[in-house]
Amino acid sequence: MGKPLPYVIRYHFSQHFAVSAQTAYAWCTDFTPNDYAIMGKGNAKREVMWLTDSTFFVKDTFPTSDGEVEKRKLVQLYPDRLTWVSTHLSGLNKYSQFIYEISAKGDCASQLDFNALHIEHQGNIVEKSVKLMAEKLCKTDSNVWKLLSEVMEKEHTQ
């Protein structure tokens, strides 16, 4: 029998921003080496390599107790739709894809809708575990976006 197929874990959340949709999109898609410091993970490294004016690679490196973990992502920007897509090309969750869409909620407010297609390559996961993993991943990612929202709003209201 062959290797078990990976599990697909889907989850979604929304995050309110107290800035305009254009401001939120510009801030969120300004990928820099300093991004992980903003998230409180200053020991992680980020490299951004542009391919075109709307497509780039991101290489993130994280220290762990087992050595460094590297994730490579392909990011495609859709500025006319205030959307971007990030696809993992390597790492533990290879081929996972995340869609980020910002919509206006008035002149000075906006909302991020985050849709995740998380590919889990561990074998033999029971259905109950998939649901728990989805809840945990959703909570972790939404907490990161709450923090990012606070930083963005602080930068744009001073």
Residues 6+ apart with CB under 8 A from 154: none
pLDDT at 63: 83
Regarding beta strands 67-78 and 83-88, do their DSSP bridges make them parallel or antiparallel, or are they unpaired? antiparallel
Q: Hey, is 127 helix, strand or coil? A: helix
Phi, psi for 88 (deg, rounded to 5): -75, 125
Read off the pLDDT of residues 73-120 as tens digits, 9 standing for 90 and up. Answer: 999 999 999 999 999 999 888 999 999 999 999 999 999 999 999 998
Tokens encoding 75: 């990011």
Read off the pLDDT of residues 5-56 as tens digits, 9 standing for 90 and up. Answer: 788 999 999 999 999 999 999 999 999 878 777 776 668 888 999 999 999 9
Instruction: Report the predicted TM-score, pTM, of the whole model to 2 decimal places.
Output: 0.90
**Is domain 7-156 annotated with CATH 3.40.50.300?**
no
Going from N- to C-terminal start, the domains of the chain cover 7-156
CB 125 within 8 A of CB 134: no
